Amino acid sequence: MQEATFLILTALAAEPLHGYGIIQSVQTLSDGEVNLRPGTLYGALDRLADQGLITADREETVDGRLRRYYRLSDSGAGALTAQAARLRKRVAAAETQLGRWGLA
């Protein structure tokens, strides 16, 4: 799973968000290291929806513009859980190896 996908799913695990809210949450979760552009985000959201990992939650009109909120699906929660477990294993392996250098 790509980092941006992981961060989008992580953002949506907390609560349903609209596009700009997802962009802000991803930036916060990544300590400013990942900055999604709207075109990239909406392409990813379409792909994640097609895969059944997220779903549209609701729509509202704000200042004459439609705002769509997305939420994590049960399948998305499972995928995020599995990826978090894989990453924990990788971190543990890295810490073990770095321990040989006295760095972990």
Spatial neighbors of 102 by CB under 8 A, at least 6 apart, are none
**pTM of the model as a whole:** 0.91
Question: What average pLDDT does the chain have?
Answer: 95
Tokens, residue 24: 């802000």
Domains annotated for the chain, with CATH where assigned, are 3-99 (1.10.10.10)
pLDDT for position 104? 63
From the list 68, 51, 50, the residue with the least C-alpha distance to 59 is 68
> What pLDDT, in 10s, does the model give residues 10-60?
999 999 999 999 999 999 999 999 999 999 999 999 999 999 999 999 999
